[in-house]
Amino acid sequence: MLAGLAAGALMAATPIAATAQQAAPQAGPQQRFANGTDWANSSVAEKRAFVFGIANAISAGIGWDERHIPAGQMTFARRLGPGLADTSLGEAVRRIDAWYAANPGKQDTTVMAVMWLDIIKPKVGPSK
């Protein structure tokens, strides 16, 4: 479940070139990010796959930034990368599980927000 939501979110965030021949958007289900309910209903393997996918997306972003963005310019991927460094998949899953267990009234909080609040932000500090 989480892997599908992560893939859908990344696909939705990918820019698409508009053309004159492109069909009008069709109404469909609203895209959303995985939250605590999705997390709780996922297996350990799915949780690990979700974290692995996010980490790889950030890593790919850092690689792109290195080739296209001046070294001194802060980007989203460059900000998040150090916050995930030295965090194993198992540790990330345990910390996210613990965050939702400690905050039962916040199951609507996205998994990405929990990763930011509990794993990344404590390592990288506040935005400048």
Please say if the pLDDT value at position 19 is more than 90: no
Judge whether 54 and 115 are in contact, CB under 8 Å: yes
Q: What is the tens place of the pLDDT at every residue in 33-42?
A: 999 999 999 9
DSSP state of 109: S
Instruction: Look at 29 and 16; give whichever has higher pLDDT.
Output: 29
Q: Which of 66, 43, 63, 56 is nearest to 10 (CA)?
A: 56
Judge whether 33 and 114 are in contact, CB under 8 Å: no
The token pair that represents 124 in the structure block: 């990288």
Q: What is the tens place of the pLDDT at every residue in 63-122?
A: 999 999 999 899 989 988 998 889 999 999 999 999 999 999 999 999 999 999 999 999
Q: Which of 104, 117, 110 is nearest to 32 (CA)?
A: 110
Q: Longest Cα pair distance anywhere in the chain, in angstroms?
A: 51
Total length of the chain: 128
